[in-house]
């Protein structure tokens, strides 16, 4: 799961803000899991009231880094030559992209509150996807322009 990947990746992360971002993601993934369990339980109980499936849950946009922290993070990546972090960010991007697409596909196959809940999850994962893609792209660009060898 995404949560397991983020927990394992914490051991490889070399910078405090990246670690903090991954810890926040772990908390959010736990929240997603709890939310999905609520939805499934409501549906198992035959909850036909579209206003009550999943309860009144609001997904707020995730802001892992402000603009200054983003710049500092990229600088730290360069100074610390954190190439393993590039692969972590790429893998995290792929996980979040897959989840976003999965939830979107499932939302398109249902109606009512279940559709709303799946759409919320898809949009939330899309925010995570964009975050990781931004860093993956920036780090890839920077590393591709570095002198590598003689």
**Domains of the chain as residue ranges with CATH:** 2-47+64-144 (1.20.1260)
Give the Cα separation of 35 and 40 in Å (integer). Answer: 9
Tokens of 134: 């931004």
Token representation of residue 44? 């198992």
**pTM for the predicted model, two decimal places:** 0.67
In total, the chain counts a number of residues equal to 150
At 101, the pLDDT band (50, 70, 90 cuts) reads: very high
More confident residue, 4 or 98: 98
Closest CA to 21 of 77, 71, 64: 64
Q: For position 3, what pLDDT does the model report? A: 63
On average, the pLDDT of the chain sits at 73
User: What is the residue-wise DSSP string for 4-69?
Assistant: HHHHHHTTT--SHHHHHHHHHHHHHHHHHHHHHHHHHHHHHTT---TTTTT-S--PPPP----HHH
pLDDT, tens digit (0-9, with 9 covering 90-100), for 53-92: 555 555 555 555 666 666 766 666 666 555 556 777 788 8
Measured in Å, how far apart are the chain's first and last C-alpha atoms?
A: 41
């Amino acid at each position: 799961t995404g949560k397991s990947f983020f927990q394992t990746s914490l051991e490889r992360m070399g910078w405090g803000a990246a670690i903090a971002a991954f810890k926040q993601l772990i908390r959010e993934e736990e929240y997603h899991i709890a939310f999905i369990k609520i939805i499934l339980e409501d549906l198992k109980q035959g909850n036909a009231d579209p206003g009550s499936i999943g309860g009144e849950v609001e997904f707020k946009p995730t802001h892992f880094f402000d603009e200054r922290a983003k710049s500092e993070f990229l600088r730290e990546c360069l100074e610390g030559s954190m190439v393993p972090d590039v692969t972590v960010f790429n893998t995290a991007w792929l996980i979040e992209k897959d989840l976003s697409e999965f939830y979107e596909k499932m939302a398109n196959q249902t109606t009512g509150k279940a559709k709303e809940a799946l759409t919320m999850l898809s949009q939330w994962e899309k925010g995570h996807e964009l975050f990781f893609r931004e860093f993956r792209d920036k780090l890839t660009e920077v590393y591709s322009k570095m002198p590598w060898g003689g």
